[in-house]
Amino acid sequence: MEETGGDYGDTGYVYQEYFELPEFDGNHPIIGSWIIGDEPAGMGIRESKGRITNVTSSFCAHYIAPEPQL
């Protein structure tokens, strides 16, 4: 089990199921995605040296442009 500190208020804790992340050159990447309605809207890749990402983790955002109306 791992944990991080921080000023997150007094609402308790977040528990997540463990999932082994791949490691590339000492970094652990994870992909997050966003859907609006039933359409893809964006994706982000965040990676860190540890298994828990935080505000200092590297982040690369991707915007999914709507299909042009012809």
Separation of alpha carbons 60 and 37, rounded Å: 23
16-37 pLDDT tens trace: 788 888 999 999 999 989 898 9
For residue 47, which of 30, 25, 23 has the smallest C-alpha distance?
30
* Residue 45 scores a pLDDT above 80: yes
Look at residue 28 in the predicted model and tell me its pLDDT.
92
Percent of the residues in the chain that have a pLDDT greater than 90, as a whole number: 26
Look at residue 26 in the predicted model and tell me its pLDDT.
92
